[in-house]
Amino acid sequence: MSFMWNVEILIIALVVVRISGWLYRWSNPNVRCNGKLPPGSMGFPIIGETIEFFKPCELLEIPSFFQNRMQRYGSLFRSNIMGSKTVISTDSDVIFEIFRQENQSFELSYPYVFVRVLGKDNLFFRTGNIHKHIKKTTMQLIGSEGLKRKMIRSMNQATREHLKWNAFKTFDLKNAVSSLIASYMTPKLISNLKPETQAELIDHFKAFNIDWFRSPFAPSTWKIIYKVLKARREAMQLMKEALKKRKESREKHGDFLDTLLEDMEKEDSIYDEASVINLLLVIGVLSKDTTSVATALMVNLLSKNPKVLAELKREHDAILQNREDKEAGLSWEEYKYNMTFTNMVINESLRLSNLGSILFRKALRDVEIKGDYMGKIFLPTGYTIPAGWMVAVAPSVVHYNSEIYENPLEFNPWRWEGKDLRSVTKTLMVFGGGTRQCVGADFARLQMTVFLHHLVTTYDFSVVQECEMTRTPFPCITKDLLINISPKSPK
């Protein structure tokens, strides 16, 4: 009896020692690092500091997760988010340098939960030369030439039709913009679908949204994820059938599917059927989601700033007056050369909306941060980001930095006067940066501009319900922007 008792005590003691060792290594990852880790805390076992990371705050506010750690540790600190060991930077120079070192010291990577929903084979997660090729292909659709030759006409037509249909109604602006983008983007992707099939695919694109991404701990999140996965599965099935029919018929329709099939038939093509379907899905979903949120916030800000709105109307009315065909939509030349104040408004709206609040990378090797970071940034103490660790950069903190922007939480488009309005800089990284800068940046800016043009030149609008947004740290609409529009009286 005594022997068995001693064995049980020994087993319990060994278990306690193993658990204690595991907990120690969890909370002190320096013991497995070749250098000195940035300061910080790994939080609770397994979940780390995930719950606090997603703690909501007001939109025009730096989340407490960042504020508290910046005050305690500075602009570079470690944590554990969603099961991933993570180093986080809120410094503009360090963030810009991480973007510059894409595919050399860092590559795109996201926590597993995001990969699971979007699909582990999703082209969004590809890196290196594969990503470069995907970007080059996608630019044929939503790069400058594609926007100029094909897209701007469709944007004008869809925006005009959707606003006309909503005249004299109270409607949700975000949903309206999402719907109008899906209405012209879907046939640009696959143009020969039957009307009922196209409508079904559009519904799946709209259901497959990224709202769950912004607030994963909301009570309804798991229901949303279920619907998202279902919509993803059904959309992919529709596109798979469309791809099969197109390959069998070998007909040409001048859409993006034709472009992908031509590339797919090349000897050294990176595309197969699965990757073609994935790319169609990514473009169909992401083109509408972020742009519709940014547009809703922009109109909401304009409604509360009559001086800005008046100047915006003045610029667009002048464009309309100088146009020979008053019924024609916004032209590419007008967009490129006559929209100075509009671009200032869009820059300021994007800065405040912070759609790319936090972006993830992974260290490909041990990255040592010494007295000057990769020859650029001075930090008084040397730190190491271990290979395999996640690196999270927070441009949103930069955009609200009072040392960079005077009165950073104020909507002031004039702060952009005389500045380059389209380039990525160390102080404005709303679309990321480096080789992974969002390929849809020009698309989003153009769609926001086209929507503004038709709204302020054709309609008077009033806000029925202001938009309310929180940050989790991703921007999340908690109360929809409801507006009412009515045609302007002829002068």
- Do the beta carbons of residue 35 and residue 384 sit within 8 Å? yes
Q: DSSP assignment, residue 477? A: E
Torsion angles phi and psi, residue 430, rounded to 5: -70, -25
CA dihedral 406, 410, 414, 420 (to 10 degrees): 70
Classified as helix, coil or strand, 402 is coil
Structure tokens at 400: 């609200």
Tokens 């497995």, located at residue: 32
Structure tokens at 191: 């143009």
Helix, strand, or coil (residue 445): helix
Q: Are 271 and 264 in contact (CB under 8 A)?
A: yes
Of residues 165, 226, 461, 410, the one with CA closest to residue 301: 410
Q: What distance in Å separates the CA atoms of residue 463 and residue 349, rounded to the nearest whole number?
A: 17
Amino acid sitting at position 140: Q
Is the Cβ–Cβ distance between 50 and 217 less than 8 Å?
A: no
Tally of CB atoms within 10 A around 314: 11
DSSP for 107-128, please give it: EE---HHHHHHH-TT-GGG--H
Beta carbons within 8 Å of 464's beta carbon, 6+ residues apart: 170, 482, 483, 484
Q: How far apart are CA 421 and CA 344, in angstroms?
A: 7
DSSP 29: G
Nearest CA among 101, 121, 43 for reference residue 362: 101
Q: How far apart are CA 388 and CA 382, in angstroms?
A: 19
Q: How far apart are CA 476 and CA 55, in angstroms?
A: 12
Q: Which amino acid is at 279?
A: L
Helix or strand or coil: residue 9? helix
Q: How many residues does the chain have?
A: 491
* Residue 467 counted as an annotated binding residue: no
Q: Locate 227 and state its tokens.
A: 């619907």
Give binding residues as ranges.
438
Annotated binding site for heme: 438
